[in-house]
Chain A
Amino acid sequence: MHKPAFSILGLFDSAQALMDAIPIVKCGMPAATIETYTPYPIHGIEKVLGRRRSPIAGMVLVMGVIGALAGLGFELWTSGWDYPLTTFGKPPWSWQAFVPIMFEVTVLFACFTAGLGMLFLLNRLPMFRHPMLRSKSMPHITRDKFALAVEAEGQPVDVDAITAVLKGVGAISVEVIEQPAPSGPISPNFVLRAFGAIVVSCAVAAGLTYWAIKLFPVSAPMSHMLDQPRLDPQREEGFFKDDFGMRLPVAGTVARGYLPYTIKNQDDAASLTNPLPGTASVMQQGRQLFNTYCSPCHGLLGNGQPTLTAAYGAKPANLVSQTIRDYPDGKIYHTIMAGKNAMPGYPAELTQDERWAVVHYVRALQRSQNAKDLDIPKEIK
């Protein structure tokens, strides 16, 4: 009585002998599972064995097409849509520039599918302890002999009959390979070892990371933009003859939004008129700017009584007083521009239009605190 057989292996001298034997064995034992082991791939053997065409070609084609589309999509997304960059003066959606990436991604996807798909999906690797590996014929099979195996895989078969058939079709030797004791791939031992391996790898990785971070000199990340030659504001630079990094405007020109202001004193400024209409939006802008820049000293109501006064030490003007109310718009404007007594000017903080908006708002503050009967709306009178 034999042990249960995994397969009965017949060895042949040549590929042709093997190919000739297959149909006869198949004919004699239609129900048997037949497998062959050869030192090199034999073209056409899958037809003789009656195997279905491997799906690998279709998989590679599909993944290649997906790779091409993925490459194109990623390029379109990054370069064309998410962060459109004009390089070399080309439009961001330049398909020509995407083709090399598409090509590479296609090849990458196709190769990985072919290699990894064959190994892991179709051949179901890793597979340890395959019964065939115990065969005494294995050195021959990897070298100069061709094996035909009738696979029983533990099912009861008539070993002697199969041996006779294999001998009958010209096998030079026949070997019965035992079915190994059933042991699933996930035994307690395996789990323990896998867990131990994971813990050890984590520890090693952590140690290496610590060592790498602590001991390797930290090089600056890409700093080309900092290193490039450029002009810094307020710095001496050798690029221009006068060694100034910052430039004065070209003679006779005016920077956009910076009209020259030539008025020297308040009396001359009296002739200026407010160019802005007193619309709601201008008033709103004026209020916001007044609250930001003027109210710390002049108070939110413009009456010269803010909380800051005591600490500040000076006595800011009461903007709603009769004196200021009698000022023409131009004088208030000039004060904002050039300052007065302890007050500095605000030419850098406020643009021309913003200054006039503040003038509007100061007028509104003055009127609100010296309201006439006329100013009260009819419906609440």
Chain B
Amino acid sequence: MNAKGTRILETGTVVGLLGIVTTLVVFGRERFWVNWVVWLLFVLTAGLGCFFIVALEHLVGARWSVPLRRVPERLSSLVIVMAPAVLLGLLSLPHLYPWTKPESLQDPVVAGKAVWLNIPFFAVRAVLCVGLWLIAYRILVSGSFRQDREKDPRFNVRARRFSPVFMVIFALTITVLAFDWISSLEPTWYSDIFGVYLFAGTFLAGLSATTLALVYLMNRGKLQEVTPDHVYSLGGFLFAFTVFWSYIAFAQYLLMWYANLPEEVVWYQERLQGMWGPLVLILALFHFFLPFFILIPRDAKSDPKRLCVVAVLMLVSHWLDLYWMIFPAVGKSPLFGWPELSFALLFICGGLLWVRHAMTFGADMPVGDPLLQEGLEFHL
């Protein structure tokens, strides 16, 4: 990226920063914090998705992805960047979450959940999640960077032993993230599958970010040894999980639609009426139909151009997904204006600046990993 691009990103970040301050002053705290939560989760889940890809490779002992592993490793630093944002996000609790208000306890459902939904425990969980991610980052990612220099094969053993533990941590924290930050916006609502739903979006966001960063690096002449077979495997993942996301999303909807229980359907009722309806169609189109049909041909899965189109679609629709889940809790119809624009500017430009910086962490490939050669020789 040239100096002009840098200037644009920096300007965008500064304008966005000013914008969110004006949002806080002009539009009030609710509008500020609801945007904060959406963007916090967007960037955080993109990072966590990359983190998951890294851990998945260690868990199953995959070889093909070793040459690509540095890309999701670098991107998972987004989790660390967003850690302060998570803690700052705790300030949103009294403004956004109805269960923080004493009168909400008159509802027997909310009162029944009070053991879980109270500010101290919520904060403890948030801090615990962040702490666990930091520890996991040190073991899985920092260890990998250190291996570049020390060429210590024992890292692989450590990573392989730790990755099952990470999977448990990941499953629990992503569920806590979904239940705490999203579904507790409407504390009377129930959905057991909600954590899996957020995981599906998270993994897709991680894959998309990895794909985009990989193509960015390859366009800059790096990672020359990466073959179309590697790219094809990544594209295959992206293809498979578009279906997974739709399956989970529809499964959640279908069960609630069938049972038609008032405490469940109200969530969908709010999110399907008025202008939210067309938005859901766009979501289905961007999150499933377009990526699915674009990626069906075999060549598409190893074609960087088409993969980038799908990755951008995925990220846009992942944001739309979060927007669709979170915003109806504060407004009857979709809000889009200066606050949303300025948050987008700040987080996209700031995020891209960070990602570009992160792309210089360590070597471009895990050069100390003894499995690298096997990964480079990977053929379909």
**A contact set with B: CB distance below 8 Å:** 43-44, 57, 61, 88-89, 96-97, 99-100
Contacts and interface: CB of A to CB of B under 8 A. Distances in A.
Q: Lowest 4 CB-CB distances: which A-B pairs, in order? A: A43-B380, A96-B257, A96-B254, A43-B379
Contact of B258 (A57, A61, A88): A88
11 contacts: A43-B229, A43-B379, A43-B380, A57-B297, A57-B298, A61-B296, A88-B260, A89-B260, A96-B257, A99-B250, A100-B254
B66 to A, nearest CB: 19
Contacts of A89: 260
B258 to A, nearest CB: 6
B253 interface: yes
Nearest to A60: B296
A131 B211 CA distance: 48
A99 B254 contact: yes
Contacts of B297: 57
Interface of B: 229, 250, 253-254, 257-258, 260, 296-298, 379-380
A88 B256 CA distance: 12
Given A96-B258, A97-B258, 8 more contacts: A43-B379, A43-B380, A44-B380, A88-B258, A88-B260, A96-B253, A96-B257, A99-B250
A105 to B, nearest CB: 16
A325 to B, nearest CB: 67
A68 B254 CA distance: 18
Contacts of B258: 88, 96-97
Nearest to A41: B380
A301 B250 CA distance: 73
Contacts of A99: 250, 254
B115 to A, nearest CB: 33
A8 B379 CA distance: 29
A215 B308 CA distance: 66
A97 B298 CA distance: 32
A57 B298 CA distance: 9
B248 to A, nearest CB: 13
A57 B260 CA distance: 40
A90 to B, nearest CB: 8
Contacts of B254: 96-97, 99-100
Nearest to A89: B260
A371 to B, nearest CB: 70
A134 to B, nearest CB: 32
Contacts of A100: 254
Contacts of B229: 43
Nearest to B254: A96
Contacts of A57: 297-298
Contacts of B380: 43-44
A33 to B, nearest CB: 25
Nearest to B258: A88
A43 B257 CA distance: 45
Contacts of B250: 99
Contacts of A43: 229, 379-380
A345 B296 CA distance: 80
Contacts of B253: 96
Contacts of B379: 43
Nearest to B379: A43
Nearest to B298: A57
A88 B260 CA distance: 9
B302 to A, nearest CB: 11
Contacts of A44: 380
Nearest to A61: B296
Nearest to B257: A96
A69 to B, nearest CB: 15
A96 to B, nearest CB: 5
A43 B233 CA distance: 13
A44 B379 CA distance: 10
A89 B260 CA distance: 9
Nearest to B297: A57
A97 B253 CA distance: 11
B158 to A, nearest CB: 34
Nearest to B253: A96
Nearest to A16: B379
Nearest to A58: B297
Nearest to B259: A88
B272 to A, nearest CB: 12
Contacts of B257: 96
A43 B64 CA distance: 15
Nearest to A94: B257
Contacts of A97: 254, 258
B199 to A, nearest CB: 21
A40 to B, nearest CB: 11
A100 B229 CA distance: 33
Contacts of B260: 88-89
A132 B380 CA distance: 27
Contacts of A61: 296
A99 B253 CA distance: 11
B76 to A, nearest CB: 30
